[in-house]
Every structure is written in structure tokens, then in C-alpha cells.
């Protein structure tokens, strides 16, 4: 084979008049009056190649045999196209190669779908033939963007004295967080490793070892239900530092992301990023990861409706709940009664019993609950800044249900009403998180982030008496309504870590069994430390303008955590199970 001169998508005026060699796949072949045109594609783009029997009959005859996705090598002179033949939509649209030689390096079956961006093929087919799907320009561009993002991140961290250190994939299963992926040990019968959900404890131990600044772009694994922004195996940018405050860690994270945005998107973001507390985020947006690209906020109307004769509102307030409203400006004509009924069904998944609503018309408030609010209609209109043509939606229940339901409605309406400026990248810090959440099913408190998070110094005494009021030195970074990452200061004293385990329901014995190695390490001069982990897949997805992280991962799993291409997961041989001392008792197909 002849050495390639340049990528197809990078032919330029500098090479005009020179004989060049290109290699790639046949995107398209056209026979126009005895002259054959082939669009030759590689990872950088497409170049047009012309086969004229007057220049080389032998090359023309071989080109006549080429079909879509054949792998070929061509040699010829790069020339300018005639003015009327220039294609301004192509990066290389003013050039063409007058071929004098061609070699078919491999043939190809007819692909199950067209290798182009607009092919309307189903996701399962795309994933079964992922190696073909990745040839599409959009998929190639997404993975190249991923590379540029990770390169930018590494450069920033390398330049700020972080050390890239690998941590183990085979670790110990712990009861907190999502389900672990377990790996049976052949050597230790009946024992299992767990694949890491995060390198959390190992990176903390590295701080105890004195490395000061650690990072790793690391694969992690969680056996949880999937959605558009989750995969069973995923990649995170993992950082840990010693002797830094939350604000210093946040500043470094901002600088890193600003560099990424500048180098990969050509966008200068404003620093520092806005900061709001968790409580403020929930109060204003009904979400701990609010999309701030549009305004619509939750409005507390408890004072307005506290005396109205509407049982739903009264019961909520009497039980310590919230009554809040959303105002969808100018949307009254866009939503019928049936549409509102559908929204009411939608919010039921968040625990809400329904969605009350009113439309603002010339002669007042109209809707199913208007008769209950006649006496406070003027106050309600003022409180919600309502105008004719608006539609008001109400939530009345426990605070967490009202927040979840109206927050979800807000996000849905933002999309349906076209309120979101898709060109914006709105970063936001959500700080001052509660340390715990109460798990109704388990009947106990669980960590809002993880059990190694440092409580606010002023709240430590509340661990024993009122855990619900304890706040954490924790912070999440949000981008356009997605949690991009989360971090915190960590507990670095044994007594406090043991108290944390006790509050979470661990006995001394169970804490020692699960986390004894960490507790022991805390006896040996553990420094104050903290860090953050960012979801790389999610970051790339957002910067690529995609809606599903599968579009920015080379070989992802589908919604059932399976790989249609390799048929993983699969059954294994009886011998393999015997060697692992495993007996599979039943399989539900």
C-alpha cells in the first residue's frame, strides 16, 4: 500500500497540483455519462474523486466495480472543481482528485442502514451494528469532541499539580448507594469483589498518603435502572485535594470547565458560576438541579389561600405542607382541559394526587377550582404576576411532593413551550445540602451524597438529636438542568466518622466490618480533604447537543443494560460456574 498523503476531509489549496493518495470508505458512487464520481470518506470528512477513462481506463474499470462502504485507496492529482460544480456545503467542496490509480482493499455487504446522519433507523439496529453507526459523521464528531474534552481536562489538571493515579476495579461491596456489580472470586470460594461505583474511599486514602492533589478519568459501575443520562458503566472525572476549602475546590472546577468550554466550543463562560443553596433551589425551582435558562419559578401562595374554603389547600397547610403555583405566561390557549388532565396524570408519578389549574381570562379566573378562590382572585393574580392568557397550576401537599411535581411540570413546560434557549450553557453551583435524606421504606436516614461527607461544624451536635437539620459541606455543579457532578469536604476524624455511621444505623461491629480499613486509617494523621467527581459522559452529551449519553459513548448498553452487538450479558458454561463455586438455580428469560 502507498502511504496516505492526507485525510480526505483535510485536502486543501496547499495540495492543489500535487499527486496525493487517499484511503477510506466509499460513501457514494455516481456514474455520469461515463465519468465515475466517488465520494471517499474517512474520519475527517469526504473528498470527491473523479475517474475518467481518458485519464486512466484501468482505474475507471476498477472504480466501476466499487459499491457503498468498499474500502479503497486512490492516487491522483488534486485540482480545483469547475465553478459550477463547487459544493459550498462540503468542507472540501471546491476540490476534487483526478484519479490515476485505485486499489480495492476490501469489499462490503450492503449495510443495514445508510451511513449518514439522517437515516431514521431504530436504536436497537444502530447498536447491533455499532461499528457501522460510528462511521456516521455525527457519531464520529461526538467521539472526537469527547477526546478534545478529556484532553483539555488533563492539560488543566496536569498544569495545576494534580497527579493521575489509578485505583482498583476489584474492591469491597458496601451497603450504601446503588446496587453493586459483583465479581465472584475463584480463589476465595463464596466471596465476591464489587466493581467500583466510585473510587471514593481509595482517593481519600491517597490524601492520607500525602499526594495532595489526585485525579483520575475513571470507569465506574452501578447496577441501577437506566435512563437517558445513565449507563451501567460510566466515566467520571474524579478529583481529590487536601487543605482546600469548598470555595477553592469550586474555583478550580470552574477554571477547568471554562478551559474546556473555550477550547472545545469556543465559548467564554463568565466566572465565578452563580451559587444558590439547596433550600433555595428547591423553593424556587422544585429541583436540586434546576435549568436556569428560563425563568418560570415556583410561587409560594400559602398566605394568599390560607383562609379559602378549598379542602385540598387547607389540608396541606394544616399538615405542615406547601401550597405553590406556577404561571405559564401566555400558555392558556395552548393547553386544553384534556392536556391539563394529562399533566395531572403525569405528576402522579411524583406522589401528587393531581394538578389544580386556572386560566386567566378577561373576566377573571376560569377553571375547575375557580369558585373556591373568588374572594382571593385579585390577591392571587398579583402574587403570581398573572395576566390575561396565562395559565396557573397549583401543588398542595408535603413540601417534597410539591417541589417534585411542580419542578417536573416546570421542566416539561420549558420544553413544550419553547422557553429554553438551546444555545446557552448555564452552569450553577447548588451548595449547603442536607447531610441526610429519610428513606421511608428503610425507616432510617441515608446519606444525601455518601457517608464520608463532612457535616457543617455548627451542626455536628445535631447528629444525635435531629439529623434532619444537619447540613453538609457539600456542593453539586449543575449544567442546563443536569447534575454534572457532586463534591464535598470529607470527614477526617475517626470519632466523627463513627458518629456518622451510628446515625446511619450502623452498629460499631457492622461499621468496623464494612469500613474498618478506613476507620483505622483515620487514626494516622488524616489531613482535612475534599474533592468532586464530574460525569464525563453527561458533560460530553450536553456539549454535543445530544439528549442521550449513548450518543457520546462508543459502545454503550441499551435501556435493558444489554449490548445487542455482542449479546452481553450472556450465559456461561457449566465449567466456568463450577470453577467459581456458583450454582444458578433459575433463569427467567
For 359-412, the pLDDT digits (tens) are 999 999 999 999 999 999 999 999 999 999 999 999 999 999 999 999 999 999
Does 543 belong to an annotated binding site?
no
Cell 392536556 maps to which residue?
339
pLDDT tens figures, 184-234: 999 999 999 999 999 999 999 999 999 999 999 999 999 987 776 789 999
When pLDDT is averaged across residues 250-266 and rounded to a whole number, the result is 98
Does 224 belong to an annotated binding site?
yes
| Strand ranges inside 263-390, DSSP E | 275-277, 299-300, 322-328, 356-361, 364-366
Q: What is the pLDDT of residue 279?
A: 97
Q: What CATH number should be reported for the domain whose range is 125-272+528-579?
A: 3.30.930.10
Give the three-class secondary structure for 296.
coil
> Rounded to whole angstroms, what are the CA distances from 157 to 198, 228, 260, 265, 402?
19, 29, 12, 19, 41
Max distance between CA atoms of the chain, in angstroms, equals 92
Q: What is the reported pTM? A: 0.94
Does 333 belong to an annotated binding site?
no
Q: What is the pLDDT of residue 224?
A: 85
Does 449 belong to an annotated binding site?
yes
| Prior bond of 589 cis (ω within 30°) | no
Distance, CA of 357 to CA of 339 (rounded, Å): 11
Does 375 belong to an annotated binding site?
no
- CB of 394 within 8 A of CB of 402? no
> Rounded to whole angstroms, what are the CA distances from 308 to 371, 375, 381, 383, 554?
10, 8, 15, 15, 57
Does 15 belong to an annotated binding site?
no
Q: What is the pLDDT of residue 175?
A: 65
Q: What CATH number should be reported for the domain whose range is 294-417?
A: 3.30.1360.30
Q: What is the pLDDT of residue 399?
A: 96
Asked if the model's pLDDT at residue 176 lies above 70, the reply is no
Q: Where exactly are the structural domains of the chain?
A: 13-106, 125-272+528-579, 294-417, 425-526
Q: What angle do CA 157, 163, 165 make, to 5 degrees?
A: 120
Superfamily holding 13-106: Nucleic acid-binding proteins (2.40.50.140)
Does 490 belong to an annotated binding site?
yes
Asked if the model's pLDDT at residue 126 lies above 70, the reply is yes
Does 176 belong to an annotated binding site?
yes
Q: What is the pLDDT of residue 274?
A: 98
pLDDT tens figures, 82-110: 999 999 999 999 999 999 999 999 999 99
Q: Reply yes or no on domain 425-526 having CATH 3.30.930.10.
A: yes
Fold match, 294-417 / 425-526: no
Give the three-class secondary structure for 375.
helix
Q: What is the pLDDT of residue 174?
A: 79
Does 231 belong to an annotated binding site?
yes
Q: What is the pLDDT of residue 178?
A: 78
- CB of 220 within 8 A of CB of 198? yes
- Long-range pairs of 351-355 with CB within 8 A, sequence gap ≥ 24: 351/397, 351/398, 351/400, 351/401, 351/404, 351/405, 352/395, 352/397, 352/401, 352/402, 352/404, 352/405, 353/312, 353/397, 355/393, 355/394, 355/395, 355/405, 355/409
Amino acid at each position: 500500500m502507498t502511504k496516505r498523503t492526507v485525510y480526505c476531509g483535510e485536502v486543501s489549496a496547499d495540495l492543489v497540483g500535487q499527486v496525493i493518495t487517499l484511503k477510506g470508505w466509499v460513501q457514494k458512487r455516481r456514474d455520469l455519462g461515463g465519468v465515475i464520481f466517488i465520494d471517499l470518506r474517512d474520519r475527517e470528512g469526504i473528498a470527491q474523486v473523479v475517474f475518467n477513462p481518458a485519464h486512466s481506463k484501468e482505474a475507471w474499470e476498477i472504480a466501476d466495480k466499487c459499491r457503498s462502504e468498499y474500502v479503497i485507496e486512490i492516487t491522483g492529482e488534486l485540482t480545483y472543481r469547475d465553478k459550477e460544480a463547487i459544493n459550498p456545503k462540503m468542507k472540501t467542496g471546491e476540490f476534487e482528485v483526478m484519479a490515476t490509480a485505485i486499489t480495492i482493499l476490501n469489499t462490503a455487504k450492503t449495510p443495514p442502514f445508510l451511513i449518514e446522519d439522517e437515516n431514521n433507523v431504530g436504536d436497537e439496529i444502530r447498536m447491533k451494528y455499532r461499528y457501522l453507526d460510528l462511521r456516521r459523521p455525527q457519531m464520529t464528531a461526538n467521539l472526537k469532541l469527547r477526546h478534545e474534552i478529556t484532553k483539555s481536562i488533563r492539560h488543566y489538571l496536569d498544569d495545576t499539580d494534580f497527579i493521575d493515579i489509578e485505583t482498583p476495579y476489584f474492591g469491597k461491596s458496601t451497603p450504601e448507594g446503588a446496587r453493586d456489580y459483583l465479581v465472584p472470586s475463584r480463589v476465595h470460594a463464596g466471596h465476591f469483589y464489587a466493581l467500583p461505583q466510585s473510587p471514593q474511599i481509595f482517593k481519600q486514602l491517597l490524601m492520607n498518603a500525602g499526594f495532595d492533589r489526585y485525579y483520575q478519568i475513571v470507569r465506574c459501575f452501578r447496577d441501577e435502572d437506566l435512563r437517558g443520562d445513565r449507563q451501567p458503566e460510566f466515566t467520571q472525572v474524579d478529583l481529590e485535594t487536601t487543605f482546600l476549602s469548598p470555595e477553592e475546590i469550586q474555583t478550580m472546577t470552574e477554571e477547568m470547565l471554562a478551559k474546556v468550554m473555550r477550547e472545545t466550543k469556543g465559548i467564554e463562560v463568565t466566572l465565578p458560576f452563580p451559587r444558590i443553596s439547596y433550600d433555595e433551589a428547591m423553593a424556587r425551582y422544585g429541583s436540586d438541579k434546576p435549568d436556569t435558562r428560563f425563568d418560570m419559578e415556583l410561587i409560594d401562595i400559602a398566605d394568599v389561600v390560607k383562609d379559602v374554603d378549598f379542602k385540598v389547600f387547607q389540608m396541606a397547610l394544616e399538615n405542615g405542607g406547601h401550597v405553590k403555583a406556577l404561571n405559564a405566561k401566555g400558555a392558556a390557549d395552548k393547553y386544553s382541559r384534556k392536556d391539563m388532565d394529562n399533566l395531572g396524570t403525569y405528576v402522579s408519578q411524583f406522589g401528587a394526587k393531581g394538578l389544580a389549574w386556572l386560566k386567566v381570562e378577561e373576566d377573571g379566573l376560569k377553571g375547575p377550582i375557580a369558585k373556591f378562590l373568588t374572594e382571593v382572585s385579585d390577591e392571587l393574580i398579583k402574587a403570581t404576576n398573572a395576566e390575561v392568557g396565562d395559565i396557573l397550576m397549583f401543588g398542595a401537599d408535603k413540601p417534597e411532593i410539591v417541589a417534585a411535581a411542580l419542578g417536573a411540570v416546570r421542566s416539561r413546560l420549558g420544553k413544550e413551550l419553547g422557553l429554553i434557549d438551546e444555545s446557552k450553557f448555564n452552569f450553577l453551583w447548588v451548595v449547603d445540602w442536607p447531610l441526610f435524606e429519610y428513606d421511608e421504606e428503610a425507616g432510617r436516614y441515608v446519606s444525601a451524597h455518601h457517608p464520608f461527607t463532612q457535616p457543617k461544624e455548627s451542626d455536628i451536635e445535631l447528629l444525635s438529636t435531629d439529623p434532619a437539620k444537619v447540613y453538609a459541606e457539600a456542593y453539586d455543579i449543575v449544567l442546563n438542568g443536569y447534575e454534572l457532578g457532586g463534591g464535598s469536604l470529607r470527614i477526617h476524624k475517626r470519632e466523627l466518622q463513627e458518629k456518622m455511621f451510628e446515625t446511619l444505623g450502623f452498629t460499631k461491629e457492622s461499621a468496623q466490618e464494612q469500613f474498618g480499613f478506613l476507620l483505622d486509617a483515620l487514626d494516622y494523621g488524616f489531613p482535612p480533604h475534599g474533592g468532586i467527581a464530574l460525569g464525563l459522559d453527561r458533560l460530553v452529551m450536553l456539549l454535543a447537543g445530544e439528549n442521550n449519553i449513548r450518543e457520546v459513548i462508543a459502545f454503550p448498553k441499551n435501556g435493558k443494560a444489554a449490548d445487542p452487538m455482542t449479546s452481553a450479558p450472556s450465559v456461561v458454561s457449566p465449567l466456568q460456574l463450577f470453577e467459581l463455586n456458583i450454582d444458578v438455580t433459575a433463569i427467567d428469560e
